[in-house]
Amino acid sequence: MLLSVAVLFGKAEDVNHSATSFDIVEPINKALYTGERATFVIKVLSKEIDRLVIVQDEGTTEEIKVLPTKRTYCKTINLHVGDNSIQVQSYHGTTLIESRATELYFLSELFEGLDDEPEGFKRYYFHTDNEENGCKACHNMTSNVPTDGEPFEDVTKTTCYECHHGMLNTKNTHAPAANWLCLDCHDGKIGEYNMQDEGKSKYLVRDPVERNCDDCHDVLQEWHSKKYSHGPVNDGHCIRCHNPHGSENEFFLRKSIWDLCTTCHAEKATGKHIVSSFVFARNKGVHPTKGPKDPARPEQSFACSSCHNPHGSDGIFLLRMKGTMPFNVCNRCHKK
Ligand code: HEC
Ligand code: HEC
Ligand code: HEC
Ligand code: HEC
Ligand code: HEC
Ligand code: HEC
Ligand code: HEC
Ligand code: HEC
């Protein structure tokens, strides 16, 4: 009865607040993520609760046992691309006490048609003094990562590992990340490099990130001098295709090569390619674009990048060839 009066007079929030059994400290509702992991930090407020459950919209659930002596619970979950609707539920036995919704958005430039930010969501950074203050009681928030490039003897002792260890559970991991030399890239160098985000996080990377990559790979001078360069490489955003930490795919790519290329070049997914003009084959002028083995590079599978260089080339259409005529590329695998 009291509740409905309060609702009528617009005081529903006060009533809900007093009935709240937990607080969600992190994340902020309607936050925009550029990575697939989001951390929930939940503070239990009611002694009644013995279980928390995080329910994701695709059905994944994460159970957390609540102990009488412990109030704060931290759990990192994996987001899927796009809008994620997540419920945090508190239970006493099998009785649901409370359920609260959080909406998060994982924006991947690769999957979501480049830079379109969804309406109503905001990019937010965690590593500011303000946000980190709430964690200091239990976590070491100093960046005890050496910047001299020397590997750690025990990476599990680094401060970053404590919170980000789930990040590298992938088949292939990129050496500097696998060795937890996180600050090799997250050097927070702003100024000249990253004016736009200055002061937003301690662990920014340079913008464009290709400058970080070039520190070790030293490829830009060569690639930028090629006659033809690839659209998505030109703006220096290497991580559109590569995950800088690691991935299930070769070369730490965000998708397998064929899937990656056809994400943006969808018309090539039909299998109709280098049609008629060159290929007078059994299969009516259609050249295969994938297969188990690249004849020119037997250690790799056959895919788009067997014929095209994904970064740049002196050959037209980014073809891996000498000379100027596209059919010169055929010699790579079909020697007469
Ligand atoms: C080779 C360079 C490189 C290394 C090494 C590296 N990162 Fe990153 N990291 C990046 C880039 C680039 C981004 C994307 C930044 C952006 O979106 O603005 C990123 C993003 C992140 C994010 C945000 C979520 C995401 O995936 O986009 C987290 C968290 C992160 N890095 C943690 C770490 C930790 C912890 C380490 C050490 C184990 C590490 N990184 C090592 C380059 C690197
Ligand atoms: C009361 C102590 C306490 C506070 C405060 C606390 N944490 Fe934790 N956190 C822990 C403990 C303990 C773990 C180890 C995992 C476990 O046993 O729950 C942990 C684990 C984590 C993890 C790893 C989770 C996973 O699933 O791998 C992250 C990320 C994390 N904390 C982030 C935070 C952030 C961010 C804050 C501040 C907003 C914070 N924590 C505040 C105690 C705390
Ligand atoms: C107390 C836990 C904790 C520790 C310790 C920690 N991080 Fe984070 N970090 C987070 C959380 C939480 C986020 C936000 C993403 C998420 O929800 O998981 C984050 C985000 C980031 C991001 C994305 C940019 C930002 O500011 O949001 C980078 C990069 C990053 N961490 C790097 C590091 C590095 C490098 C270290 C070690 C020097 C480190 N982190 C230590 C919890 C932690
Ligand atoms: C601190 C040095 C360092 C930085 C910075 C760095 N890398 Fe690397 N990278 C390495 C090392 C060492 C290897 C070889 C070992 C391995 O495969 O992890 C490597 C391997 C790779 C490979 C696989 C190469 C192969 O032939 O299999 C790719 C792809 C790659 N890096 C991309 C990048 C991108 C993209 C960036 C920038 C976001 C970057 N790297 C930044 C050190 C670095
Ligand atoms: C359009 C997607 C795409 C972008 C953007 C991209 N790469 Fe790659 N990269 C690939 C693919 C695909 C391969 C595997 C090529 C193959 O089959 O040999 C690769 C391979 C690599 C390799 C290992 C072998 C080699 O070719 O040297 C390195 C190092 C590398 N990329 C670094 C970078 C850096 C640095 C940038 C940014 C300047 C970048 N990549 C941008 C798709 C991309
Ligand atoms: C993130 C989106 C994206 C990805 C992923 C991507 N491309 Fe592209 N590609 C583009 C854009 C944008 C252009 C420039 C469009 C234009 O100028 O017509 C381009 C141009 C090209 C061209 C030159 C076309 C011409 O007419 O000269 C080739 C060839 C090509 N891409 C092949 C590939 C291959 C092979 C892969 C996979 C390794 C790949 N692309 C992955 C976006 C992408
Ligand atoms: C066997 C070698 C070979 C493979 C594999 C291959 N291509 Fe090509 N590609 C060519 C040649 C040769 C041309 C230029 C002649 C033409 O367009 O018919 C070309 C042209 C292109 C062009 C520019 C002209 C156009 O048709 O739009 C794009 C974009 C392209 N390829 C993308 C891809 C993608 C994406 C894949 C993988 C699904 C792929 N290619 C696989 C050889 C190849
Ligand atoms: C990177 C290696 C590579 C390049 C470059 C390449 N091919 Fe192929 N080609 C293949 C593979 C792999 C097959 C499939 C072989 C099989 O099925 O036995 C194939 C098959 C063929 C076939 C036979 C198709 C059929 O159905 O029997 C013809 C004809 C052909 N290629 C012509 C060309 C021409 C013309 C070019 C240049 C535009 C070219 N190829 C470039 C790898 C390549």
Peptide bond before 288: cis, by omega within 30 degrees of 0? no
| Residue of the CA atom closest to atom 35 of ligand 5 | 213
Query: Per-residue pLDDT tens for 121-137?
Result: 998 899 999 999 999 99
| Residue of the CA atom closest to atom 9 of ligand 5 | 310
Rounded to the nearest whole angstrom, what is the distance from the C-alpha of residue 73 to the centroid of ligand 2? Answer: 6
Best residue for ligand 6 mutational test, from 230, 273, 324 (most atoms within 8 Å of Cβ) = 230
Query: Per-residue pLDDT tens for 167-180?
Result: 999 999 999 999 99
Residue 235 confidence class, pLDDT cut points 50, 70, 90 = confident
Mean predicted confidence (pLDDT) in 140-148: 76
Rounded alpha-carbon distances, angstroms, from residue 13 to 4, 16, 20: 12, 5, 10
Query: Per-residue pLDDT tens for 9-60?
Result: 333 343 344 469 999 999 999 999 989 999 999 999 999 999 999 999 999 9
Best residue for ligand 7 mutational test, from 229, 230, 255, 273 (most atoms within 8 Å of Cβ) = 273
Query: Per-residue pLDDT tens for 183-214?
Result: 889 987 765 555 566 678 889 888 888 989 99
| Residue of the CA atom closest to atom 22 of ligand 2 | 163
Q: How many CB atoms lie under 10 A from the CB of residue 2?
A: 7
Average pLDDT, the chain: 86
| Residue of the CA atom closest to atom 16 of ligand 3 | 38
Residue 298 scores a pLDDT above 70: yes
pLDDT given for residue 16 in this prediction: 43
**Of the bound ligands, which one is closest to the alpha carbon of residue 166?**
2
User: 301 and 293 in contact (C-beta within 8 Å)?
Assistant: yes
Rounded to the nearest whole angstrom, what is the distance from the C-alpha of residue 174 to the centroid of ligand 4? Answer: 6
Query: Per-residue pLDDT tens for 269-290?
Result: 987 787 555 555 555 667 889 9
Ligand 7 contact, 257 CB (< 6 A): no
Q: Using alpha carbons, select from 271, 277, 272, 208 the residue that is nearest to residue 244.
A: 208
